[in-house]
Amino acid sequence: MIGKLTKTYLLITIEAKIMQEKFIDIDGHKIRYLESGNSDKTLVLIHGLGASAERWDQVIPFFAEKFRVVIPDLIGFGYSDKPLADYTIDFFSNFLKDFLE
């Protein structure tokens, strides 16, 4: 059991060193995203509904070797603001358009 806990702790420590947590403002809403890597090529990973940016934790180290990886918490999820709104496909499409700009 101790060996398993040590491996888990080391994995979390390594991931914490390569990911940066950042926040931006989009239309007055605080949006959180994770960023890792420093390539000229950017890879944006989008989590599904009911999840958060941490959904991608296990693959970030691999993608960060070749890409600048950006993973937002979609508006309404994770550590991003959760406004009272109609969470429709158009709502999320507009959010992603604004985030990518």
* CATH number among 3.30.1950.10, 3.40.50.1820, 3.30.1330.30, 3.40.50.10800, domain 2-100: 3.40.50.1820
Q: Give the per-residue pLDDT at 50.
A: 84
Q: Which of 25, 20, 23, 2 is nearest to 98 (CA)?
A: 25
pLDDT above 70 (res 82): yes
pTM: 0.79
Q: What are phi and psi of 73, to 5 degrees?
A: -80, 115
Amino acid at 40: D
DSSP reduced 3-state for 31: strand
pLDDT above 80 (res 90): yes
What does DSSP say about strands 42-44 and 20-26: parallel, antiparallel, or unpaired?
A: unpaired
User: Confidence class of residue 17 from pLDDT cuts 50, 70 and 90?
Assistant: low
pLDDT above 80 (res 10): no
Q: Give the per-residue pLDDT at 18.
A: 72
User: 13 vs 35, which has greater pLDDT?
Assistant: 35
